[in-house]
Amino acid sequence: MRFSRGKQDGYYHYRHYSLPLLFTLALAIPATAAEDASTILSRFQQYLQINTAQPHPNYYEAAQFITSQANSLSLPSQTLEFVEGKPLILIKWQGKDPTLPSILLNSHTDVVPSEHHKWTHPPFSAHLDSTTGNIFARGSQDMKCVGLQYLEAIRKLKDSGFRPLRTVYLSFVPDEEIGGADGVAKFVDSDAFADMNVGIVLDEGLASPADHYRAFYGERSPWWLVVKAVGAPGHGSKLYDNTAMENLLKSIESIRRFRAAQFDLVKAGLKAQGEVISVNMVFLKAGTPSPSGFVMNMQPSEAQAGFDIRVPPNADPASLERRIADEWAPASRNMTFEFKHKVSVNDKFGRPAVTAVDSSNIWWALLEEAIIKANARLGKPEIFPASTDSRHFRERGLPAIGFSPMANTPILLHDHNEFLNKDEYLKGIDVYESIIKTYASYIQHPRDDASREEL
């Protein structure tokens, strides 16, 4: 199949030569109504077998697969490239009332790298263990499962004759694992996104080792901090004050104490991991290099360390910055600091970037209702401990909920031997079928609009 490419409205469009429409329908035969589990699992395995690991993800093969699935459902798909070589697939299920705010089901196509020799089965083999039913693959939890579950749920709904009242969009986006700057960050600023009139976003969550599902209404913001100390160089045998290494080690010890205090709150069960400020040292750089390693009789004039800090939306960022300036990198000890990356804990309106999880948010109530209908349970809503693409939607004031239907499953994202059990995967499809049906059938009453304006 051949495509032409032209840049328009700040992004690239791919289309068939013979069909100049923005959304293109392929002539494909819809799947039969009664598909067995092996066929459904086979599609999941096909997606997992596409190597989309950073830093060189095979995005075009993934895009072709996703588009073929949309074609099999007779759903129009659109391929956008805000950055060349990084396609974003947008699928549309037209609602009976397109004036209503739409539903966006988001997932990312890229995955993190793997140390192949440390896996029991190759990470892109999608090996299905016949004894346990576990499917081993990079992306089985994070988050190719969710993207395919969206599609399979819609397949079941269409086969049942269901027609959505609201328009449902599915987005398969690039580069989430490296921050999403060339993916969702550009998508939410595009005319294409504005035209979608999105009312609610569902994105990824985490597996739950317990028998209930987890849902996330906010996430911690990454602050990547580099602390640098300078001092006079000296002979390795000399003792003197304010060396670069001495001053940096004092800072590292201060940071370690802060980290321990935050971690103690988690260990005591007083706070969840997503509710505290985490700090982890990720590199230490010092010394004078030599052909055999480092010069051992010379104290360096510079030393620096890097820290991955995660700040929850209920924290006081100004207080943390004062701590960094006064305790962790004080100028009085010849120290400086800079942020390599720093994400605000607030949205563009200056409010904490969180989604309401009470009666003020109808989408949360509908999610709870849909999960109960699917004979499943939902745990207490949480702050996501890391970062996802959800933050780009919340920054614009949109409600976004992180949810991946994986219960009784160890948390293995980014770990060796990542897997998802086939029965959990199949059950998750039924859960999404319930959620999509509930969301897409919701009729908004006038008083809901008034409440939203008041909020």
The pLDDT value given to residue 7: 44
> Which domain CATH number covers 139?
3.40.630.10
Q: Are residues 294 and 184 in the same domain?
A: no
> Which domain CATH number covers 243?
3.30.70.360
Has 195 been annotated as catalytic?
Answer: no
Residue 142 annotated in ligand binding: yes
> Which whole number is the average pLDDT over 414-434?
98
> Which whole number is the average pLDDT over 361-384?
97
Q: Are residues 239 and 210 in the same domain?
A: no
Looking at the chain, the whole-number percentage of residues with pLDDT higher than 90 is 89
The pLDDT value given to residue 448: 53
Contact 220, 311 (CB under 8 A): yes
Which pLDDT tens digit goes with each residue over 67-78?
A: 999 999 999 999
Q: Are residues 44 and 64 in the same domain?
A: yes
Residue 177 annotated in ligand binding: yes
Instruction: Kindly indicate the confidence band of residue 445, based on its pLDDT and cuts at 50, 70 and 90.
Output: low
Residue 327 annotated in ligand binding: no
Q: Are residues 413 and 369 in the same domain?
A: yes
Q: Are residues 33 and 139 in the same domain?
A: yes
107 vs 4, more confident: 107
Q: How far apart are CA 49 and CA 123, in angstroms?
A: 8
Q: Are residues 237 and 135 in the same domain?
A: no
| List of E strands, 109-253 | 127-128, 134-136, 168-173, 198-203, 215-219, 221-230, 234-235
Q: Are residues 212 and 235 in the same domain?
A: no
Q: List the catalytic residue out of 81, 152, 175, 176.
A: 176
What 8-state DSSP symbol labels residue 274? G
Has 454 been annotated as catalytic?
Answer: no
> Which whole number is the average pLDDT over 175-204?
97
Q: Are residues 211 and 303 in the same domain?
A: no
Q: Are residues 359 and 271 in the same domain?
A: no
Q: Are residues 18 and 126 in the same domain?
A: yes
Q: List the catalytic residue out of 110, 182, 203, 395.
A: 110
Contact 34, 110 (CB under 8 A): no
- The answer to whether position 347 is within a domain reads no
Q: Are residues 155 and 268 in the same domain?
A: no
Q: Please state which of the ranges 10-24, 162-176, 244-258 shows the lowest mean pLDDT.
A: 10-24
> Which whole number is the average pLDDT over 84-105?
98
Q: Are residues 214 and 226 in the same domain?
A: no
- The answer to whether position 32 is within a domain reads yes
Domain count, the chain: 2
Cis peptide before 317 (omega within 30 of 0): no
Residue 414 annotated in ligand binding: yes
Q: How far apart are CA 30 and CA 172, in angstroms?
A: 21
Instruction: Kindly indicate the confidence band of residue 35, based on its pLDDT and cuts at 50, 70 and 90.
Output: confident
Q: Which domain holds residue 20?
A: 3-218+352-454
- The answer to whether position 323 is within a domain reads yes
